[in-house]
């Protein structure tokens, strides 16, 4: 049953994160990427802290930690990891991602996020010295080939002068910093108060991004029509997704979460096609599926006979 809730949590997180690319693209028409990032992460922090301060806190934590041996103590080292992952995933990554999204389509951006798995594998090899298998070469090749095609649109000549390529490169860099968060979040996923951890991570990002927004004198005007998108992305695509990912990592492990989360890319492309009417052609679908196949190969473990 624990595995069921783990799988359900990560699938819900992929849906919430997948639709955020479409809503972010809509907001980018009238708002600066930095303002969007600062507001959505601040909203996520406020939402999570509101839950933690409410009478529902203990009931929710009891449900989250049911039959789990969760740790109640959070050490200074844990807070250091939390701050590091917050900077990577709640400050640097969203800035790169939104700026990249501003220069490419939501479909391409969503599919390119699959390359995060490549970074996760590389970091695991370097940091945790996990064994490297021959099959991993094929998986990495599929991921690289798919990312290269989506980043260049198949036009490999003159890509350095193509604005959409710059946007794709920013998306890939954002994936790198989100991969840092995924790799190190396993150290925090066994804590009992996951609401507190997710709230801090969101708030750290929101506060830092908002301070940068003030310093850079960006227009702070928020069109009323954008509020529903800001609230949805903040509450569900960031706040709730953070919490769900921590739960999933605890119940089924970071490897399985990593293998499933790229579904967010497919959901993102589908939402962009349905809501924004963006092109989602056979070639994009094929290379998107090629990247997903690469993910499956990387994480597939044959049963021992």
The answer to whether position 304 is within a domain reads no
pLDDT at res. 12: 92
DSSP 217-234: T------GGGHHHHHHII
Instruction: Give the Cα-Cα-Cα angle 34, 39, 45 (nearest 5 degrees).
Output: 130
**71 DSSP β-pair partners:** 191
The answer to whether position 269 is within a domain reads yes
Split at pLDDT 50, 70, 90, the class of 157 is very low
Q: What is the pLDDT of residues 176-234, one digit of tens each?
A: 999 899 888 888 988 889 999 999 999 999 999 999 999 988 888 999 999 999 999 99
- Given a contact cutoff of 8 angstroms between Cβ atoms, the answer to whether 52 and 199 are in contact is yes
Residue 158 has pLDDT above 50, yes or no: no
The answer to whether position 201 is within a domain reads yes
The answer to whether position 305 is within a domain reads no
pLDDT at res. 35: 94
Rounded distance between C-alpha atoms, residue 51 and residue 54, angstroms: 5
**Model pTM score:** 0.82
Residue 295 has pLDDT above 90, yes or no: no
Q: Which domain holds residue 46?
A: 2-299
Q: What is the pLDDT of residues 221-274, one digit of tens each?
A: 999 999 999 999 999 999 999 889 888 888 777 767 766 777 777 788 889 889
Residue 1 has pLDDT above 60, yes or no: no
Q: What is the pLDDT of residues 58-75, one digit of tens each?
A: 888 887 776 566 788 899
Mean pLDDT of the chain: 83
Residue 144 has pLDDT above 80, yes or no: no
The answer to whether position 78 is within a domain reads yes
Tally the domains of the chain.
1
Mean pLDDT: which of 26-30, 147-151, 166-170, 255-259 is highest?
Answer: 26-30
The answer to whether position 250 is within a domain reads yes
Q: Pick from 114, 109, 170: which is nearest to 145 by CA?
A: 114
Residue 296 has pLDDT above 70, yes or no: yes
pLDDT at res. 131: 62
Question: Residue range 107-122: average pLDDT?
Answer: 78
The answer to whether position 181 is within a domain reads yes
Split at pLDDT 50, 70, 90, the class of 43 is very high
The answer to whether position 55 is within a domain reads yes
Chain centroid to CA 163: 24
Q: Pick from 199, 200, 203: which is nearest to 42 by CA?
A: 203
Residue 22 has pLDDT above 60, yes or no: yes
- Given a contact cutoff of 8 angstroms between Cβ atoms, the answer to whether 107 and 269 are in contact is yes
pLDDT at res. 160: 44
pLDDT at res. 130: 60
């Amino acid at each position: 049953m624990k595995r069921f809730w783990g799988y359900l949590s990560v699938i819900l997180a992929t849906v919430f994160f997948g639709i955020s690319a479409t809503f972010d693209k809509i907001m980018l028409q009238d708002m600066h990427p930095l303002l969007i990032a600062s507001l959505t992460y601040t909203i996520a922090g406020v939402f999570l802290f509101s839950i933690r301060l409410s009478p529902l806190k203990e009931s929710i934590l009891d449900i989250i930690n049911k039959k789990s041996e969760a740790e109640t103590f959070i050490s200074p080292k844990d807070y250091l990891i939390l701050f590091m992952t917050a900077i990577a995933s709640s400050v640097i990554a969203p800035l790169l991602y939104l700026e990249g999204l501003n220069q490419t389509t939501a479909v391409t951006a969503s599919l390119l996020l699959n390359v995060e798995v490549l970074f996760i594998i590389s970091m695991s090899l370097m940091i945790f010295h996990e064994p490297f298998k021959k099959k991993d070469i094929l998986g990495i090749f599929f991921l690289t080939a798919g990312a290269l095609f989506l980043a260049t649109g198949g036009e490999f000549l003159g890509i350095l002068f193509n604005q959409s390529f710059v946007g794709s490169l920013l998306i890939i860099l954002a994936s790198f910093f989100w991969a840092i968060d995924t790799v190190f979040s396993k150290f925090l996923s066994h804590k009992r108060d996951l609401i507190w951890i997710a709230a801090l991570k969101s708030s750290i990002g929101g506060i830092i991004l908002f301070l940068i927004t003030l310093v850079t004198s960006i227009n702070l005007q928020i069109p009323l029509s954008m509020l529903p998108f800001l609230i949805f992305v903040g509450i569900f695509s960031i706040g709730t997704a953070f919490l769900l990912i921590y739960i999933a990592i605890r119940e089924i492990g970071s490897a399985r979460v990593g293998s499933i989360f790229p579904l967010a890319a497919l959901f993102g492309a589908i939402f962009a096609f349905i809501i924004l009417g963006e092109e989602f052609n056979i070639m994009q679908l094929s290379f998107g599926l090629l990247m997903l196949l690469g993910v499956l190969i990387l994480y597939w473990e044959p049963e021992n006979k």
